[in-house]
Amino acid sequence: MGLLLGYYLAGYSTQPQKKQQSRSWTFIITGWVLATVAGLWTLYGLYPALQGWDWPVYHLIYGSVYRTVFSLSLGWVIYACHTNIGGPLNWLLSLPPLLPLSILSYSVYLIHMIPVVFTYILAPFPMVSPA
């Protein structure tokens, strides 16, 4: 999903300013509502399983699509902020005090696999939690 969005946004950035489409309010509001509902569903959709409810079809659907739905939700936020329809969220995410946090989180993303690999190399397998 991220590669497709990146490809689209790279093409969007190369268009002249006059050629870039203005988005309708219906499109913007529908996108934000769907992205919000999808994001909240991926975060709180595990609630039935944690409560022990026996909904096998729901659990199969949730388990098979929640990552894709979350990436679509996050993709909308990136798209909206990149095309200047992000509104207050774009302003909030662009605040100067958040710049060091963004640099730090990207650095952690780049380096995090080293401790993960060493954990699996050095830890006995299978990993069990102490009782």
Q: What percent of the chain has pLDDT over 70?
A: 95
- Can you give the pLDDT at residue 22? 80
- Smallest CA-to-CA distance from 86 within 77, 97, 73 is with 77
CB 75 within 8 A of CB 38: no
The CB density around residue 65, as the number of other CB atoms within 10 Å, is 15
**Tokens representing residue 98 in the block:** 């958040």
Q: What is the mean pLDDT of residues 58-86?
A: 94
- Can you give the pLDDT at residue 126? 76
CB 64 within 8 A of CB 43: no
**Tokens representing residue 112 in the block:** 């995090």
Q: What is the mean pLDDT of residues 27-42?
A: 96
CB 98 within 8 A of CB 106: no
**Tokens representing residue 34 in the block:** 């769907």
Q: What is the mean pLDDT of residues 82-90?
A: 90
Mean of the per-residue pLDDT values of the chain: 89
Query: pLDDT tens digits for 95-130?
Result: 999 989 988 998 999 999 999 899 888 877 777 777
**Tokens representing residue 126 in the block:** 């299978």
* Structural domain spans, the chain: 22-86, 95-123
- Can you give the pLDDT at residue 120? 83
- Can you give the pLDDT at residue 20? 62
Ranges of beta strands (E only) in the chain are: none
The span from the CA of 62 to the CA of 67, in Å, is 9
pTM of the model as a whole: 0.76
Of 31-35, 41-45, 67-71, 113-117, the least confident: 113-117
